Amino acid sequence: MTKSHTPIPFIDLKAQQRVIRPQVDRAIQRVLDHGRYGFGPECEEFEQALSKFTGVQYVLGCSNGTDALTMLLIDLGVGPGDAVFVPAFTYIATAEVVALRGATPVFVDVDVDTFNMDAADLKKAIKVAQEKELKLAGVISVDLFGQPADHDAIAAVAKNHDMWVISDAAQSCGALYKGKSTLQFGLAATTSFFPAKPLGAYGDGGAIFVHDDKLKRRLENIRVHGHGVNPASIESLGLTGRLDTIQAAILLEKLKIFPAEIENRQKSADIYNEALSKVVHVPHISEERTSVWAQYTVRVKHAKQRDVLQDHLTGLGIPTAIYYKRPLHVQRVYRYGLLDRCLENTDQLSDTVISLPIHGYLRESVQNQIIDGVLGFFKK
Ligand SMILES: Cc1ncc(COP(=O)(O)O)c(C=O)c1O
């Protein structure tokens, strides 16, 4: 057990709630009073606040980060025979949306230091997809654990093959690439407000970020069963893709404290980096990028060491997580997207990564406990 006998949370949403509870209570009360639970005024207000925060002109709040991707793929007409290139080392949703459209999610290896899509391997995957006579449709990049992908390098490869790019920024809202929000990249970008995300709701939520007003209008239709605000005229396929008003009201309050939380996450990451770099591979953030530290993920030597370290920390009451222990290309339902290739870095990472607690409210004393736990393991 820990010295304090207080369980250490992996993400401390209660500490955050203590800071904003009165504001959140009032915000929910306002929604209950006006009673517009779908598309209430808070929805538009939140979209405008996000537009200001990210510098992207058009923002559409929506039901979650998965639907955000799906709505874009519906608009792009992605379907059977299409190859959509996705990193193999990501959360399942990135590939799932492609597979659900009947297209092939073609898995691309990642850079071992940044955990993000490797543009050089993207070129190799494209070549193999062409040999297999798949139609090159697009790329979905992911900013894993809060660090931006190499957006310029990915865009250059995609452009050479006349493919679109969607930036799946579910984990990176608030991060910057060359001074710009990750939501600015690609034909469109998406994010998630799942409660555990850096900017999280108290339920599901997501958003789509676009630069073109025609695309925005089509997505508004798709977001409500293809008819948008006019049920008499169904323009396309669609889904129940709204962000509900209560979540928008909560997120408006959370967005106000988000910049300070990002700073705190960075401070915690700096402390971890300093304390742990001699015993594990600490995360590498490439030049001209900032991370929002959705996860603080280190690498150890091999799977056995990782699993014993995790048991050791669990024994000390220190929670950890492994994202992602079995990458997508080895999962039975997704194996076809490997195109018989070998993704060595993804395989290596899935054996050696382990994530430590990080959030905007990590007290120094608690972080020291975690650091002592890790250092103690390597002293043995
Ligand atoms: C990289 C990535 N893409 C997509 C999603 C899907 O977001 P949601 O859970 O809001 O559907 C997530 C969420 O965990 C994610 O991490």
> What distance in Å separates the CA atoms of residue 90 and residue 203, rounded to the nearest whole number?
22
DSSP per position, 35-82: ---BS-HHHHHHHHHHHHHHT-SEEEEES-HHHHHHHHHHHHT--TTE
| Section 39-51 average pLDDT | 98
Q: Is the pLDDT of residue 1 over 50?
A: no
Phi, psi at 66, each rounded to 5°: -75, -45
Name the amino acid, one letter, at 237: L
Average pLDDT, the chain: 96
How close is the Cα of 347 to the center of ligand 1, in Å?
21
State yes or no: pLDDT of 230 exceeds 90. Answer: no
336/340 Cα distance (integer angstroms): 8
C-alpha closest to that of 116 among 357, 346, 288? 346
Between the CA of 170 and the centroid of ligand 1 the distance, in Å, is 5
Which token pair is 206? 């997501």
What's the rounded Cα separation, in Å, for the pair 258 and 174?
A: 8
Write down all domains in the chain, each with its CATH number in brackets. Answer: 16-253 (3.40.640.10), 258-379 (3.90.1150.10)
Which pLDDT does position 152 carry in this prediction?
98
Cβ–Cβ under 8 Å, residues 374 and 279? yes
Counting atoms of ligand 1 from 1, which one is nearest the CA of 194?
10
Q: Return d(Cα 331, Cα 334) in angstroms, integer.
A: 5
Distance 125 CA to ligand 1 centre (A): 23
pLDDT exceeds 90 at position 2: no
Residues in contact with ligand 1 (CB, 6 Å cut-off): 64-66, 90-91, 93-94, 142, 168, 170-171, 192, 194, 204, 206
pLDDT digits (tens, 9 = 90+) for 330-361: 999 999 999 999 999 999 999 999 999 999 99
- Cα of 90 from ligand 1 centre, angstroms: 9
- Helix and strand element counts for the chain (H, E): 11, 11
The answer to whether residue 4 scores a pLDDT higher than 80 is: no
Alpha carbon distances (Å) from 228 to 63, 65, 66, 262: 14, 19, 19, 35
Q: Which of 194, 199, 204, 243 to mutate to test the pocket of ligand 1 (most atoms within 8 A of CB)?
A: 194
**DSSP SS3 for 7:** coil
Q: Which of the four pLDDT bands, split at 50, 70 and 90, describes residue 270?
A: very high
Q: Which residue has the tokens 């608030």?
A: 174
Strands 206-210 and 188-192, by their bridges, are antiparallel
Q: Determine the distance separating the centroid of ligand 1 and the alpha carbon of 166, expressed in angstroms.
A: 14
CA distances from 61 to 39, 107, 216 (A): 10, 28, 11
Q: Flag whether pLDDT at 280 surpasses 80.
A: yes
**β-strand pairing of 176-177 with 82-87:** unpaired
Give all strands of the β-sheet with 164-168 in edge-to-edge order. Answer: 58-62, 206-210, 188-192, 164-168, 135-142, 82-87, 104-108
H helical segments located in the chain: 13-34, 41-54, 65-76, 93-100, 119-131, 151-160, 213-223, 245-276, 303-315, 344-352, 364-379
Which of 73, 91, 100, 247 to mutate for ligand 1's pocket (most ligand atoms within 8 Å of CB)? Answer: 91
Q: What predicted TM-score, i.e. pTM, was given to this entire model? A: 0.97
Among 11, 63, 66, which residue has the most ligand 1 atoms within 8 Å of its CB, making it the best to mutate?
A: 66
Nearest CA to ligand 1 atom 14: 91
Measured by CA distance, the residue closest to atom 7 of ligand 1 is 65
* Cα 65 to ligand 1 centre (Å): 5
The per-residue pLDDT for 5 is 57
Q: What are the beta bridge partners of residue 299?
A: 281, 353
Give the pLDDT score at 228. Answer: 87
Give the length of the chain.
380
Ligand 1 center–CA 168 separation, angstroms: 8
52 pLDDT higher than 50? yes
Of 278, 321, 257, 230, the C-alpha closest to 17 is: 257
Q: How far is the CA of 91 from the centre of ligand 1 (A)?
A: 6
The 10s digit of each residue's pLDDT in 108-136 is 999 999 999 999 999 999 999 999 999 99
Bridge partners, 188 (sequence order): 166, 210
